[in-house]
């Protein structure tokens, strides 16, 4: 437990540094430039995919801390509610189904279950798509996208 606490505590300054150096704003601008012309749904999808992919190789809490400034800057730059984008980050950081190293539970069952890396992808890709679709449908009901 303490390792996780210290890991998160160590990443908080990185999140602050990303905010203060302009890195978060740069990354937010890159996301907006890439998918911003396609509307808020595309923006949410882009943030979801970016965060989900990052959570496959880093601990979920760390990904959430690193993506938070990017989501906030994206919200400020686009006029979308920061609450909605932060929920996208929270949900997508928890969608760690694609890799055995994405979550400790995945690694624990890999050996005894005889699973291979591709088994996680075969089940993880459809499950991630389902979570994305549900997020796109349900998120605006609880956290309206307009500020």
Mean pLDDT of the chain: 81
For residue range 98-110, list pLDDT tens digits in order: 888 777 777 777 7
Contact 87, 139 (CB under 8 A): yes
DSSP notation for 57-111: TS-HHHHHHHHHHHHHHHHHHHTB-HHHHHHHHHHHHT---S-TTSSHHHHHHHH
Within-domain flag for 43:
yes
Residue 10 has pLDDT above 70, yes or no: no
Within-domain flag for 28:
yes
Q: How confident is the model at residue 91 (pLDDT cuts 50, 70, 90)?
A: very high
Residue 114: per-residue pLDDT: 84
Within-domain flag for 7:
no
Structure tokens at 99: 């890799």
For residue range 114-143, list pLDDT tens digits in order: 888 888 889 889 999 999 999 999 999 999
For residue 115, give the 3-state DSSP assignment: coil
pTM score of the predicted model: 0.77
CA–CA separation, 110 vs 116, rounded Å?
Answer: 7
Within-domain flag for 122:
yes
Q: What percent of the chain has pLDDT over 90?
A: 20
Number of domains in the chain: 1
Structure tokens at 62: 């760390």
- HSE on the CB side for 56, CA within 13 Å? 15
Within-domain flag for 147:
no
Domain holding 50, by residue range, is 14-142
Within-domain flag for 8:
no
Contacts of 8 (CB under 8 A, 6+ apart): 59, 61, 62, 65
């Amino acid at each position: 437990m303490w390792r996780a606490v210290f890991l998160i505590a160590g990443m908080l300054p990185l999140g602050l540094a990303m905010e203060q150096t302009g890195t978060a704003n740069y990354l937010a601008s890159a996301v907006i430039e890439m998918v911003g012309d396609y509307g808020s749904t595309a923006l949410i999808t882009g943030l979801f995919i970016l965060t989900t992919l990052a959570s496959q190789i880093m601990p979920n809490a760390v990904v959430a801390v690193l993506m938070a400034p990017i989501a906030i800057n994206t919200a400020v730059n686009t006029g979308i509610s920061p609450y909605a984008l932060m929920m996208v980050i929270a949900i997508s950081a928890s969608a760690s189904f694609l890799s055995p190293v994405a979550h400790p539970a995945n690694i624990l069952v890999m050996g005894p279950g005889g699973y291979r890396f591709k088994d996680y992808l075969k089940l993880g890709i459809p499950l991630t798509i389902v979570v994305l679709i549900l997020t796109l449908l349900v998120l605006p009901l609880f956290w309206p996208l307009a500020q």
